[in-house]
Chain A
Amino acid sequence: MELTDYTIVENNRIAKDVLRLRLRCVAQREPPRPGQFVNLKIDGCYLRRPISVCDWDDCGGLTLLYKVVGEGTAKLARHLPGESLNILTGLGNGYTICAQAKRPVLLGGGVGAPPLYGLAKALVRAGQRPLAILGFNTAEEVFYRNEFAALCETKITTADGSLGQKGFVTHALKAAEDYDALYACGPEAMLRAVYHQMPPLAAGQAQFSFERRMGCGFGACMVCSCRTVAGYKRICMDGPVLTREEIVW
């Protein structure tokens, strides 16, 4: 965990209500693990805003994709390149890459997709052959289709059928065969549906990333607690990624 000032390189709309925020930092930073998040201080908001890390480079650069959903993200969207943001980095456990897996499936729902991009890169580097299934409501909300496709086999679903397969990620998951690991991030209803639909995998091979309203983002305030099989956990510190075996549903 580090508290650092970053400079905005880009803060542009890439789909309906979705922006890409690229940041650079003067000092060399420890690269994040796939699935980790950062907590941004936005002028005019008292609490920081947790946003997952989509991508990063070796020079301390970070890419975040975020959706404008409320006051905080609306304020963030008005920031311009060259401006500075104070960011707490390296938060959360992130995904644990299952080393034995060969054919992992990545399931992203809406703005749940961004952390899976950094994960897909890491999986490809580890010699695995991921399949990405990304679900959106409608074509104008789709983002990073080409970026994912450049890395791995990618399937798009839209609820209204305006792009890719009509339906939800769970529909596309039914057609996916022989996957030996599963990484998911998206709305809780999607995670729950995936949890109930998926075939049993070896322990730890199915990992779900959760979103919660947070206070601090580093485990101190207990506002993002959840009940798990292994007792109470803090989504910010002990999560946001929980294994299928830990989840109580």
Chain B
Amino acid sequence: MVDLRVSLSGVELQNPVIPASGCFGFGQEFRAFYDIDMLGSFSFKGTTSAPRFGNELPRVAECEAGMLNSVGLQNPGIDAVLAEELPRLKEHFHQPLIANISGFSIEEYAACCEKIDRCDQVGIIELNISCPNVHGGGLAFGADPDCAARVTAACKRVSGKPLYVKLSPNVTDIAAIAKACESAGADGLSLINTLLGMRIDLKTRRPLLANKMGGFSGPAVFPVALRMVWQVYEAVRIPIIGMGGVSSAGDVIEMMLAGAAAVQVGAANLVNPYACKEIIERLPMEMERLGIASLREIVGQAH
């Protein structure tokens, strides 16, 4: 018997497979396909203090082996998430949740964290300081070490739950941001968010996305994500949740070898609603094939 269990800052997960924020809603849509309680956890849709519609349409484009989105943090707001989404999920999901929180000011991030801190269903708070699709928020905090540190410290002050900061790949030196978050008290890091990209419609000669640019994800970004997880693992001592183009059990193992203590799966869920289920079912076979007894033991082994 192989051991799939992993641990994130004392939060025990039955396996390392976690649907990534924005690709899994609040879990309900995937219940039609499989029992989502088999997941290690899931990171719910990026939530802000007020409800948001997000950006104008089109919000999606495609490229070879990947996609771009410019949703722009559409969400019902933290109060509706706490009052409606999480109670609705309680019956069907008994694993520790990851609460993905976003904002446009340090105060907004902190206010959301303070509210979510009282929710028993949430095991980890994931601070999204890397959304490429909103102006004056998200990435604005994630691109500068000082800003990243300030928002991390402010949220740490109001929350007792493990705080993971989700980092952007759209920076020159991701290790510097990672270190700044660690110094400010982050319990862990999630990386990478999407890469900023764009497509142009050849017929109209205009950007395809209404927001012009969008977040690029899917299998095409996997090597970039893996490289950044590797670099951040070398730079910090706190746990890393690795993500970016992960689509198979092999990708999960590769991410963990690079230094990820757990792994998120994003775009793959949209193309194949069973992606996470299939990865979880495939992992034991891959581990046996590769002579891995316990996933915990391989974290960072490639270094």
| Residues on A with beta carbons closer than 8 Å to the beta carbon of B272 | 3
The 8 Å CB contact of A219, one of B29, B64, B67, B274, is B29
| Chain B positions within 8 Å of A220 at CB level | 23-25, 29-30, 269-270, 273
Which residue, B33, B269, B271, B273, has most C-beta atoms of chain A within 10 A? B271
B119 touches A (CB below 8 Å) = no
Asked if B32 contacts A1 (CB within 8 A), the reply is yes
Main SS of chain B's interface residues?
loop
Interface string of A159-171 (1 = CB under 8 A from B): 0000000000000
B89 at the interface (CB under 8 A from A): no
List residues of B (63-78) whose CB comes within 8 Å of A's CBs. Answer: 63-67, 69, 71, 74
Interface 9-mer from A28-36, A44-52, A93-101, A177-185: A44-52
Alpha-carbon distance between A209 and B59 when the two chains are bound, in angstroms: 19
Residue in A closest to B217 when the chains form the complex, CB atoms:
A46
**Which partner residue on chain A sits nearest B53 by CB separation?**
A232
B271 and A214 contact, CB distance less than 8 A: no
Q: Indicate if the CB atoms of A46 and B64 lie closer than 8 Å.
A: yes
Taking a contact as CB atoms under 8 Å apart, the answer to whether A222 and B270 are in contact is: no
The smallest beta-carbon distance between B231 and chain A, in angstroms, is: 27
Which of A17-25, A127-135, A190-198, A223-231 forms contacts with chain B?
A223-231
A187 proximal to B (CB < 8 A): no
Query: At the interface, yes or no: B62 with Cβ under 8 Å from chain A?
Result: yes
A174–B274 alpha-carbon span in the complex (Å):
48
Residue from B22, B45, B271, B273 within 8 A of A46 (CB atoms): B271
User: B273 near A3 (CB under 8 angstroms)?
Assistant: yes
What are the interface flags for B32-68 relative to A under an 8 Å C-beta threshold, 1 for contact and 0 otherwise? 1100000000000100000001100111111111110
Interface residues on B, range: 20 to 34
Cβ of B218 < 8 Å from any Cβ of A?
yes
Tell me the complex Cα distance, A248–B212, Å.
Answer: 24
List A contacts of B66 (CB < 8 A).
46
Query: A216 in the interface, Cβ–Cβ < 8 Å?
Result: yes
Interface positions, chain A 202-222, Cβ under 8 Å from B, are 212-216, 218-222
Main secondary structure of the interface of A (DSSP, over half): loop
Find out whether the CB atom of A222 lies under 8 angstroms from the CB atom of B218. no
Q: How far is the CA of A112 from the CA of B24 in the complex (A)?
A: 30
Asked if A1 and B33 sit within 8 Å, CB to CB, the answer is yes
Question: Given A46-B218, A224-B57, does the pair A216, B270 have CB atoms closer than 8 Å?
Answer: yes
A48 contact set on B, CB distance < 8 A = 271
A237 part of interface (Cβ distance < 8 Å): yes
A121 at the binding interface (Cβ < 8 Å): no
Are the CB atoms of B60 and A223 closer together than 8 Å? yes
| CB of A102 within 8 Å of the partner chain | no
How far does the Cβ of A191 sit from chain B's closest Cβ, in whole Å? Answer: 15
Kindly list 14 other residue pairs between chains A and B, CB separation below 8 angstroms, not including A45-B62, A220-B23, A220-B270.
Answer: A3-B33, A3-B272, A46-B66, A47-B67, A47-B271, A213-B59, A214-B60, A215-B69, A220-B25, A221-B69, A221-B71, A223-B58, A224-B60, A225-B54
30 pairs of residues in contact across A and B, judged by CB atoms under 8 Å = A1-B32, A3-B273, A3-B274, A45-B62, A46-B62, A46-B63, A46-B64, A46-B65, A47-B67, A47-B270, A213-B57, A213-B59, A215-B69, A215-B270, A216-B269, A216-B270, A216-B271, A220-B29, A220-B269, A221-B60, A221-B69, A222-B74, A223-B69, A224-B59, A224-B60, A225-B71, A227-B53, A232-B53, A232-B74, A237-B29
Instruction: Spell out A's residues near B (CB within 8 Å).
Output: 1, 3, 41, 45-48, 88, 212-216, 218-227, 232, 237
